Structure 1
Amino acid sequence: MVTVLLAPVFVILITELIFSDSAHPRSRFYQAGKTTGWLCRSYGYGFVFNLVIVEVMKGITGSPRPTFFYICEPRINGRFCNGTDFVPNFECTNKQFSTWYQTDSYHSFPSGHTSFAVYCGFFCAWYLQKRAFNWRSRTIFLVPLLQMVLLTYSAYCSLSRITDHRHHWWDVAVGAFIGIICVLYTVLVLCKNFAFNKSNDISSEGPQTKTLLYDRSELT
């Protein structure tokens, strides 16, 4: 969770500091900080939107995790559940885990970790593509490498939820879908596809800096 919240801040801030068109250090930091704050505010709004969707779906479905019987050891009417009968009410008898952990064991669908990891990785990769990538710059090698790291992080977090037996594959699939929908909403609607600096027709809330997708002829 900490990585999902802090990674975009570092990625955006460092990128803006490197590519800022200001010649004065103080102005460069101010400009980079303003842009970072504006984008991270939009990112945070999308994250909350993502979180609400996931938690509401978890509360409605109440789907057990693969480790549910081990963590909870449910019992009804003095006998343990065998996994084949529908039981509307049960009592967790395993004393090795906390009440919260046992309650969480039957809220598997969808995977929140997958949704957040996909949201974070795709958001940062999309930002780097729009703000740092240029066919006529040396970033043509660095940006794809960073994007690969970000997307690998998303894939690893998603698949590890299955291999660690924390989720079923369909939990992860739906969680990834929610993450993609949320990143599309955040980038295209809230961040205007990271193109708020490309012309004079920009949001009044957006920072007034040049886009990195410039034509080198403009600088000569």
Structure 2
Amino acid sequence: MRGQPAPQRAHVSAETRTNRSKGVHTKSGSLPAHAAAGMENTTDNEPTQIGHALFTRKLLVVSDVLCLLLVSIPFFASELKAVRPYRRGFSCGDPSIAYPYLLSEELGAFLFGCCIGQSLTNMAKLSVGRLRPHFLSVCGVTYISLNCTQGTYLESVNCPNTDHRSIEEARKSFFSGHASFAMYTMLYLAFYLQARLTWRNARLLRPVLQFFLFLLAIYTGLTRVTDNRHHPSDVVFGYLIGAFTAYWVAFYISSMFKRPNLNPSPMETQDNHLLAQHSIC
């Protein structure tokens, strides 16, 4: 009786060795042979899958670069003068192509008006010295801290704030440079549309664009009032200065409203050639 268990343990040990040779032994038991083979195949395929993903990504980058080069062919062909424009003829007396080359002149006139407007603005700010609506806040004082009665005029005040640049800017309220510049640029552009946008089939297109330009200039000035940067009178005066400068430059300095001369004299032809090379500034 005592010698019987030994053969059973030997039988179990032999069976266990057989299962281990056929599968994988884990803590929970032995896995079948086909499961073990699947795990080994998955581990072996991981480098292959990673390499395939990298190759796909590189292929996408190369295809994007090729597409970019393809769509850039017309641009480079034009800039490198590889393709010449079509040599179209023209009819004698056609006024649409008889205008002088005025790009540099009109740009110079526009910049001249900008300089005039900004010079007038800075001269007024420095010479008048009107206080902005937020002057007391920037200065760091109140009427109570100054111990002044209503109607009393103070010639000077000592500001506790050490930001002297902000205090200096708070003394430049009159007149609004933003309102002046916005009105000048938008009104000048409206005049340009009036002179150049001559499409008869869209009669309302030009006035609608001009209206929105004028509205943008008005809105710019109104924001200066709502932001407590200027008094309403500062903005109104800025509107007037900008509008006057735009009208003066557009009608008396720029050549945008001048009609082309279909029969120029030799002297006028030479002047137009010089205008194409030089600016008025």
Same fold (TM over 0.5): yes
Residue 120, structure 1, aligned to residue 213, structure 2: no
Deviation sequence 1:102-145 (CA, Å, 0-9, x none): 211111001110000000110001100111134x233x343223
C-alpha distance 163-81 of structure 1, shift in aligned 2 (>3 A) = farther
Partner in structure 2 of residue 156 of structure 1: 219
Partners of 1:177 and 1:54 lie apart in 2 by 12
Is the Cα contact below 8 Å between 1:43 and 1:186 reproduced in 2?
Answer: yes
Say which of 170, 178, 184 aligns to 2:241. 178
- The CA distance in 2 between the partners of 1:162 and 1:145, in whole Å, is 26
| Residue type of the alignment partner of 1:156 | Y
- Structure 2 Cα separation of the partners of residues 91 and 188 of structure 1: 49
Is the contact made by 2:251 and 2:257 (CA closer than 8 Å) also made in structure 1?
no
Amino acid at match of 2:116: F
Distance 2:129 2:147 in 1: 17
**Contact preservation (8 Å) 2:132, 2:171:** yes
Give the partner amino acid of 1:128.
Answer: L
Change (3 A) 1:122 1:206: farther
1:74–1:81 Cα contact (<8 Å) kept: no
SS at match of 1:162: helix
Cα pair 1:196 1:206 within 8 Å, conserved: no
Paired amino acid for 1:88: E
1:80 pairs with one of 146, 160, 183 = 146
Unaligned runs of 5+ in 1: 1-22, 26-33, 208-220
Query: Are 2:127 and 1:60 aligned?
Result: yes
Deviations 1:14-73 (A, max 9, x none): xxxxxxxxx949xxxxxxxx6433212111101101111111011111000111111113
What is the TM-score when the length of structure 2 is the normalising length? 0.54
Instruction: Name the CA shift for 1:151/1:81 in 2 (closer, same or farther; >3 Å).
Output: farther
Q: Give TM-score scaled by structure 1 length.
A: 0.67
Cα distance, 1:196 vs structure 2: 3.3
Any unmatched runs of 5+ in structure 2?
1-83, 87-100, 277-281
Match of 1:137 among 196, 201, 217: 201
Identical-pair percentage: 25
Report which of the two structures shows the higher radius of gyration computed on alpha carbons: 2
The alignment yields a C-alpha RMSD, in angstroms, of: 2.8
Which secondary structure state, in structure 2, belongs to the residue aligned with residue 137 of structure 1? Answer: coil
